[in-house]
Chain A
Amino acid sequence: MKQKRLYHNTSLCDGCGLCQLVCALEHCGQWNHYQSRIKIVNDREREAFYAVCCTQCEEAPCILTCLMNTIYKQPGSDITVRDLYHCIGCRACELACPFDAAVFDVIQEKVVNCDLCGGRPLCVEYCPNHALTYDYPGDQADKKRNQAALQRFGTSLFEVFKFSGKEG
């Protein structure tokens, strides 16, 4: 049973940053865009906005890299989750993530990632433009991304998602 993932449609996004605020408020009870698990990147030259967020890789490199074996796939849902009790905030997983999607929580001093709010992502609810959606992979968006990756890397993005991290 595949896991639904977060998708961001750039052409609908206007950079309002509401997703960041509600994510931070929901997870930390404070608003601070730096605590958000989803980051909106501003391409100032073209005034386009992109979302960077944990892509829930099937073979996640962060899991293999973690020095405290804190990260694992939740049995049943297959979401990448963390047992933060053992996290020492070494940030190696930040380096392992090819998508820059791990977030260093400055309050807890541990690294966190998007956990899809347990199945009802709040950012999707609050996005006023429906730029964020919660969908099964393998749809139109994925096909386009795959084609782009194929052109550039000679490998499909699914390969990237299944990035095994065997390189160490």
Chain B
Amino acid sequence: MRIIIIGNGAAGNQAAQTIQDYDPEAEITILGAESIPFYSACALPDYLAGWIKRDQLFLRSSLERNRVEIRLGQAVEDIKPDRQAVSAGGELLFYDRLIIASGSRPVLPNIPGTGLPGNFVIKSVYDIDRILSHNPRRIVVIGSGNIGIEAAEALASRGCQVSIIEMMPRIMPRLFDEQPAMLIRNILEENGIEIHTGEKAREVIGKNKVEGLITDCRRISCDAVIWAAGVRQNTELARAAGIEIGGLGGIKVDSQMKTSHPAIYACGDCIETSDLLTGKPALCLLWSCAKAQAEVAARNCLGEEIVYPGALKLIAEEAYGKPCMAAGLLEEELDRTGLKIIEKETENTYHRILIKNERIMGIQAVGSMEAMGPLLYFMKKMIAPSEIKRIINSPALLRNMPWMLAIDKYWQ
């Protein structure tokens, strides 16, 4: 069987790895648009800060060279579903199965000045190389999601003066509720990062390069602007080939990762998936989701029929040494009826657990990761919180599941 994978990122590589593991006969080709080997974008802020070296970004891979052909710098021109082929680099390549793992790209809003030198995004290694060679001293970061916060801390630790502009009333609005977001904000502000929420960027100003940013409320002088305010999925190829696109903008797939075309699968950032907890359509642009989806897609390519139960939003952060995590849904995403919120604050930790109708729907923590793994497991398996209490109270069960003890304090 011949399988072509579009995309050399997390999903693409995981799909190739899975196929290699499961089918010794399959011929696999990965077509990657970038001319550099497989790396993890998750570590880019660490490289930006200088905490890791450039070569640590490029990951170990157990793809065997004689089994998997990796073509770098080969952007796919188009997909021809009726001929079961793709054209890339002037060549027509035929497939039995196609896996689209084309990922996503950051977007800039349509405001003046974004074309000036000194505007950056954080998506590829080259972006970081460019920022480093630009050597900015005063930076504005637009967007306070995962990437924005990490980039801000990375640059601040290099000694730069950093401001964050966030459109919504609180930072990390899609990840944390108000109270934990405020705690994280305090940590960042105590360390010298300026944060402005409820403001939108209006214009980037400068003669031949970035010299400042104007928002709704103020003007900040800076020599670089980093846009971490949103991404768009790379669905152009699919759309052009007539593959159905979902309402949220990603490639539509069923629970087996199959697209509207037979023999074509999709996984990773580029798809519209479903939320594990609610079952509703959702976008989940995370490395671990990409890998999980890729494995499902790959195995189904080979003839299995396994089902992807849905994506769970999960992020792990570190704000100036304090670990933070968020998983599942936010308070505002849950209907108030039957909603129970457990909040536990100590001297230097904060935990918040959202429970609705006897199911754990969201967890957020600042300052400590202890016991979050087991709690997350319960959330994923949709086990009622009352079961946790029963296990903890039963010595016989607890003996076999001692990790449950660490969760006990939330149910006192």
Interface residues of A (CB under 8 A from B): 10, 41, 43, 46, 48, 50-52, 64-70, 72, 83, 85-86, 88-92, 94-102, 104, 144-145, 148-149, 151-153, 157, 165-168
Contacting pair A100 B59 (CB below 8 A): no
Within 314-351 of B, Cβ neighbours of A (below 8 Å) are at 314, 316, 318, 323, 325, 327
Asked if B293 is at the interface (CB within 8 A of a chain A CB), the reply is yes
Cβ contacts under 8 Å, A94 to chain B: 316, 369, 372-373
Q: Shortest CB–CB separation between residue B313 and chain A, in angstroms? A: 9
Bound: A52/B50 CA distance, A: 35
Cβ contacts under 8 Å, B374 to chain A: 98-100
Between-chain CB contacts (< 8 Å), 7 pairs: A43-B398, A72-B60, A85-B56, A88-B52, A94-B373, A100-B370, A101-B373
Cβ contacts under 8 Å, A66 to chain B: 288
Asked if B400 is at the interface (CB within 8 A of a chain A CB), the reply is yes
Contacting pair A65 B288 (CB below 8 A): yes
Cβ contacts under 8 Å, A104 to chain B: 323, 369
Cβ contacts under 8 Å, A96 to chain B: 288, 373, 376
Contacting pair A149 B400 (CB below 8 A): yes
Asked if B403 is at the interface (CB within 8 A of a chain A CB), the reply is yes
Interface residues of B (CB under 8 A from A): 13, 40, 42-43, 46, 51-52, 56, 59-62, 276, 284, 286-289, 291-293, 295-296, 306, 308-312, 314, 316, 318, 323, 325, 327, 369-374, 376-377, 380-381, 383, 387, 390-391, 395-403, 405-406
Look across to chain B and name the residue whose beta carbon is closest to the beta carbon of A94: B369
> At the interface, is chain A mostly helix, strand, loop or mixed?
mixed
Bound: A85/B328 CA distance, A: 30
Bound: A99/B403 CA distance, A: 6
- Our pick among B286, B292, B370, B383 for the contact of A165 (Cβ within 8 Å) is B292
Contacting pair A168 B287 (CB below 8 A): no
Bound: A68/B38 CA distance, A: 10
Q: Shortest CB–CB separation between residue A102 and chain B, in angstroms? A: 7
Contacting pair A67 B396 (CB below 8 A): no
Look across to chain B and name the residue whose beta carbon is closest to the beta carbon of A8: B402
Look across to chain B and name the residue whose beta carbon is closest to the beta carbon of A101: B403
Known A-B contacts: A92-B314, A94-B369, A166-B309. Give 20 more (CB < 8 A): A43-B405, A67-B288, A68-B42, A69-B13, A70-B59, A86-B59, A91-B325, A94-B316, A95-B316, A95-B325, A96-B373, A97-B373, A98-B373, A98-B374, A98-B403, A100-B406, A167-B310, A167-B311, A168-B292, A168-B293
Q: Shortest CB–CB separation between residue B309 and chain A, in angstroms? A: 5
Q: How many A-B contacts at CB < 8 Å in the complex? A: 148
Cβ contacts under 8 Å, B46 to chain A: 88
Q: Shortest CB–CB separation between residue A2 and chain B, in angstroms? A: 19
Contacting pair B289 A168 (CB below 8 A): yes
- Our pick among A89, A97, A168 for the contact of B284 (Cβ within 8 Å) is A168
Known: A168-B276, A168-B292, A168-B310. A48 touches B395 (CB 8 A): yes
Cβ contacts under 8 Å, B40 to chain A: 67-69, 86
Bound: A32/B172 CA distance, A: 35
Q: Shortest CB–CB separation between residue B76 and chain A, in angstroms? A: 24
Bound: A43/B286 CA distance, A: 36
Bound: A20/B390 CA distance, A: 29
Contacting pair A99 B373 (CB below 8 A): yes
Bound: A74/B399 CA distance, A: 29
Cβ contacts under 8 Å, A72 to chain B: 60, 62
Contacting pair A100 B403 (CB below 8 A): yes
Cβ contacts under 8 Å, A52 to chain B: 402-403
Cβ contacts under 8 Å, A67 to chain B: 40, 42-43, 287-288
Contacting pair A167 B59 (CB below 8 A): no
Cβ contacts under 8 Å, A89 to chain B: 318
Known: A85-B56, A86-B60. A92 touches B288 (CB 8 A): yes
Bound: A166/B289 CA distance, A: 8
- Our pick among B291, B293, B314, B405 for the contact of A95 (Cβ within 8 Å) is B314
Q: Shortest CB–CB separation between residue B32 and chain A, in angstroms? A: 16
Cβ contacts under 8 Å, B405 to chain A: 41, 43, 50
Q: Shortest CB–CB separation between residue B49 and chain A, in angstroms? A: 10
Q: Shortest CB–CB separation between residue A127 and chain B, in angstroms? A: 16
Contacting pair A145 B323 (CB below 8 A): no
Contacting pair A50 B398 (CB below 8 A): yes
Look across to chain B and name the residue whose beta carbon is closest to the beta carbon of A50: B402
Q: Shortest CB–CB separation between residue A77 and chain B, in angstroms? A: 16
Cβ contacts under 8 Å, A149 to chain B: 400-401
Choose among B42, B398, B401, B402 the residue with the greatest number of A CB atoms under 10 Å from its CB. Answer: B402
Look across to chain A and name the residue whose beta carbon is closest to the beta carbon of B293: A168
Contacting pair A152 B288 (CB below 8 A): no
Cβ contacts under 8 Å, A100 to chain B: 370-371, 373-374, 403, 406
Bound: A6/B299 CA distance, A: 32
Bound: A15/B126 CA distance, A: 52
Bound: A2/B296 CA distance, A: 26
